[in-house]
Amino acid sequence: MFFVILGIVLWIAIALWPASIARRKGYSFLLFFLISLFFWWITLFVTLFMKPKNQQASSPPPPQAG
């Protein structure tokens, strides 16, 4: 029984890892947590290579005063 509880705790802890990365990048924590409960290795790979949600793609730098 101890190993079952330990396994469940570890399973949830591992699923929190990709979900927390997704939250830092501006995506839904709950959605990525639920997906990573079953596919944590895929979700971890996806979240590591996702661009942050609030980052604009190829925007020019702001003009400098001078």
The whole-model pTM stands at 0.72
Answer yes or no: is pLDDT of 61 > 80: no
Answer yes or no: is pLDDT of 62 > 80: no
Burial per residue of 29-56, b for 16 or more beta-carbon CB atoms within 10 angstroms, e otherwise: eeebbebbeeebeebbebbeeeeeeeee
d(CA 66, CA 56): 25
Percent of the chain with pLDDT over 70: 86
